[in-house]
A and B are shown apart, each in its own frame.
Chain A
Amino acid sequence: MFVAWRELKFAKGRFALMGTVIVLITLLVGLLSGLTAGLARQNISAITGLPAGKIAFQAPHGGQDLSYANSTVTEAQWRQWSEAPGVESAEPLGITTTSATAGDRSTGVSVFGVEPGSRLAPDSNRIFGSAVVLSTAAADGLGVQAGDSLTLAGRQLKVAAVEGDAHFSHTPVIWTSLDTWRKSAPPTGDGRGPRATVIALNTTVRADVAATDHRAGTKTVSTGDSLSAIGSYTSENRSLQLMRGFLFAISALVIGAFFTVWTIQRSSDVAVLKALGASTAGLLTDALGQALVLLVGGTLTGTGVAVALGALVSGSAVPFLLTPAIVLMPAVVIVLLGALGAALSIRRIVSVDPLTALGSAR
């Protein structure tokens, strides 16, 4: 790194320009990552927060994908799951998106219907009859608190508690009893009415999930896999991840292009060093070290700015989520891809002929 450090100090302008580009790309990726995570949380936190390992859906017909919007499970299906061997718990969960009103304020909500005392909902012992539990965002949106009233699907309900920050499909969650939920849920065609939307399961290794699915006419997946059944989450997440992927690719290309030009510019210096006895391996290590200093410095600065901006907006209406993994992962990827781009461009050091240092040779 003897020459590399001195080049960094000597060619301040060029390296500062490139460092700024890395900072800006890291900042953009960091903010996009925080936004992606924040939007995802608004989509799925109610599902990922469920104390359930698996979710049983009504088996889709005609090759359709699983969907929380289209699934309805019956009483019979629920009974088959609850009586199946190896099933520790099978709790019906109804999900409907509708609007709630309190006074002159109205907001879209997701109604999660559970049985009284169910482990699925917070403060579930207080959910019975017309008593409901609101997530913080739902209570804020409606301007209500515990003891207040709200109207849901034409029924007057009472806020028993405000608890948690569950969201589903970008709407805050209201936890109600299954009876209350059924009154707001769309009717089904089997005449017996929906028991619930899905069944939240906890199973042991003894459970034969495939056999029970076959008997009950359901399709069971892990809670994590069930997230793809939330339509808005899948399409939104794909778009944002695609944007992140492009930004990663652009950063590798830009860094690779910079080091290609830089290596061409200093080819004569490399030839001199080779002629003087510097090994190619040493020169490559030097050049890669230089790239890593620039990359790590740029990504750390960019990440720091992204964290600061994220902290500023995280309390606002902007869905932004900051965790160490969300912040550090893009930085690590940019460093790795940037190092790859730099490595591909500085490999031309290998082909520099030290003979060219003797200008008059040949």
Chain B
Amino acid sequence: MSLRLTGITLTYPDGDTRLTALDQVSLEVPKGSLTAVVGPSGSGKSSLLAVAATLIAPDTGTVTVDGQTTTALTRGELTELRGHKIGIVFQQPNLLPSLTAAEQLQVMAQIDGRKPRTAHTRAMELLDAVGLVDQAGRRPHQLSGGQRQRVNIARALMNDPAVLLVDEPTSALDHERGAAVLGLITRLTHQRATATVLVTHDRSHLTAVDQIAEVHDGRLRLPTANGRPARSARTGSTSPE
């Protein structure tokens, strides 16, 4: 299992009380599968993603990434884990304005300690995979919204992550471009065998996902079938709805 969340509870301070963002959430995402986490705004989807990305420590529960439990890791070790094993596709592309499309990817190789020449080859290969090899020398302001999002996806895959976390990738795109980006994420998940978690509030593009988990008020509902036998988000085993 590439990503396993077990009994995750996360609370935030809210005045004199604490607000429960996640309540005993468990989720398992196997290698090479795409899990969509859906739910209304404020339901806890992004909190779930932040916990899975090791950007925030839960009050209780454990996160296991590619067999490594993160509970006891230091902040530095978590950062290193993110660099090597977790790819994050941000809601806004969050590309660095001073870097070209190829350099956005190469900076990941710097983080990974890879040689520049290898990094360039790998970056061009990934840009080719997302259909942007001819835009490699362009900076973010010279790219369209869809192109920026594709660079964002390619960047997340640069270090061959075991886990790919995708945060609302279509929120700034029109329907056609959104569908294209989700198609790309699905294809790359299967091609590169990543355990992909896709957070979205838009159910219209979820035809190709392997399982759908629904979050409401911090609780994860049992996964729903998606036109095929669904695997349990809790157990990863095949189960009827």
Contact = CB atoms under 8 A, between A and B. Distances in A.
A360 B76 contact: no
Given A2-B107, A276-B111, A278-B79, A269 B90 contact: no
Nearest to B47: A361
Interface stretch (B93-101, B176-184, B221-229): B93-101
A3 interface: yes
Given A358-B91, A362-B12, A9 B98 contact: yes
B91 A359 contact: yes
A230 B89 CA distance: 72
Interface string A242-268: 000000000000000000000000001
A312 B82 CA distance: 58
A7 B110 contact: no
B90 A272 contact: yes
B94 A268 contact: yes
A310 to B, nearest CB: 38
Interface of A: 2-3, 6-7, 9-11, 268-269, 272-280, 282, 354-355, 357-362
Contacts of A359: 90-92
Interface in B79-136: 79-84, 86, 88, 90-92, 94, 96-99, 103, 106-108, 110-112
Given A3-B99, A272-B90, A279 B46 contact: no
B108 A355 contact: no
A358 B90 contact: yes
A3 B111 CA distance: 11
Contacts of A278: 79, 83, 111
B88 to A, nearest CB: 6
B56 interface: yes
18 contacts: A2-B106, A2-B107, A3-B99, A7-B98, A10-B139, A273-B107, A275-B88, A277-B84, A277-B108, A277-B111, A279-B76, A279-B111, A280-B79, A355-B50, A357-B94, A358-B49, A362-B21, A362-B47
B96 A272 contact: yes
Q: State the majority secondary structure of interface residues on A.
A: helix
Contacts of A282: 111
A233 B94 CA distance: 60
B111 A355 contact: no
B156 to A, nearest CB: 8
A361 B49 contact: yes
A276 B96 contact: no
A6 B107 CA distance: 11
Contacts of B55: 275, 354-355, 357-358, 361
A277 B55 CA distance: 10
B83 A362 contact: no
A360 B98 contact: no
Contacts of B111: 273, 276-279, 282
A268 B98 CA distance: 13
A362 B98 contact: no
B103 A6 contact: yes
B167 interface: yes
B79 A274 contact: yes
Interface in B54-94: 55-56, 76, 79-84, 86, 88, 90-92, 94
Contacts of A2: 103, 106-107, 110
Contacts of B53: 275, 358
B210 interface: no
Nearest to B98: A10
Given A2-B110, A277-B84, A358 B103 contact: no
B38 to A, nearest CB: 14
A166 B186 CA distance: 86
Contacts of A11: 98
Contact of A361 (B46, B82, B99, B139): B46
A279 B90 contact: no
Contact of A277 (B46, B82, B91, B103): B82
B25 to A, nearest CB: 15
Contact of A10 (B90, B97, B107): B97
Contacts of B49: 358, 361
A98 B21 CA distance: 90
